Chains A and B, each alone.
Chain A
Amino acid sequence: MLNKVYDWIDERLDITPLWRDLADHEVPEHVNPAHHFSAFVYCFGGLTFFVVVIQVLSGMFLTMYYVPDIVNAWESVYYLQNEVAFGQIVRGMHHWGASIVIVMMFLHTLRVFFQGAYKKPRELNWIVGVLIFMVMLALGLTGYLLPWDMKALFATKVTLDIAQSTPLIGDMLKTLIAGDQHIIGAETLTRFFAIHVFFLPAALLLLIGLHFIMIRKQGISGPL
């Protein structure tokens, strides 16, 4: 049945080469943990991506209940956490995943660094990787404010103070991020929400796309 569906589509759109480019390629022996157990270090990049997928999915479902409004934000989080079936699980996935993704990404960075895999011809991919790192940190930072509890508020206060201490443009930068010169409030929350949910994920998907295209073009770096 499934084969028939596949053939039907393939006959019209010739998707087999596409599929082959995307997924049907050999894993070199030196990166396959089944051959050398130490090759598990090559898994961290893929694990990072796996957790990113979980983050995107769980985040999408969280926005079914969450409202980025200073009056209702905390209540909506409380509701989805305590009243909605499996809400605690989904929020838990997003909460713990946010930390795990940073850990995995860091381990991946360490592997690339200590294996020298960033060297020619892979410099551009290292640069894109660093940009991904920054986007991820920004995602963590903006997501932290959204529950709108005391911890979120004061963490953001500190963040904005740090931004404000930038020479020359500090005050402007703070106002741009917070949406107000003095207040961390309604406009800050909507800004952080928009950045967390639309801007940064879009940037992330673009960068991850580039990251993967470059890996397919250049192949995985050879054994040490």
Chain B
Amino acid sequence: MIPGFGMTLGFALTYLALIVLIPLAGLLWRSAALGWSDFWRLAFDPRTLHALEVSFGAALLAACINVLFGVPVAWVLTRYRFPGRRVLDAMVDLPFALPTAVAGISLAALYAPNGWIGSLLAPLGIKVAFTPLGIVVALIFIGLPFVVRTLQPVVAEIDREIEEAAATLGASRRQTLARVILPSLTPAILTGFALALARAVGEYGSVIFIAGNIPFVSEIAPLLIVIRLEEFNYAGATAVAAIMLAISFAMLLAINLIQAWSRRRFGHGS
């Protein structure tokens, strides 16, 4: 009989309750205490709705771009051998390791009208920094590893014999990719997309430096929480936070459902 069950479970539960559950429950309790009409007024005022729209729209666009480029990146890094592959592969985790504030000021410097990339785009009339487009750029950076890292193990596990079978049955490479490979990657693509989206919706540090933060234009929902707090408007901050938390949990549920479906359908869970 292995000892220590009571002690480890007791410590884990106490610590979980103190650090995570009680503070989160506090937020829910405070938003419930607002009462329905106050909550409705604070959570759905035009500025809040607009901030949620900006957060969601930008996160959605960034997640789509990450899927579009993340699929080839995962494919190339897993299937091909070329000089520099290992370094690039390790670099994919940079957004996990680089503090968001550092990413934020660096992207702002790159895409500012006098920055390396901004100065190339300025003659074309494209402004990225301090516009909603800047938010998308920051969220692409933040979400990139979620898509690539979710896809890589699945690409590595594809059975080459299936591709050979398709080829000997007369399928062209293009047909094999579209009809055999892509369907087997679909659950992983969906999971990566959802993870990138979930992270991007709540992202703060990398966005605020490049966004311009203009109310009704480029103001994200997490920033609005900070602004409400700075005005000592705790009720307002709580209402926006409760809405965002509900959205996050809905997305978490969606991710779990995708994974359960994928396990049933394809026998692997990501």
Q: Is this pair of chains taken from one and the same complex? A: no
Chain B residues in contact with chain A, CB under 8 A?
Answer: none
Chain A residues in contact with chain B, CB under 8 A?
Answer: none
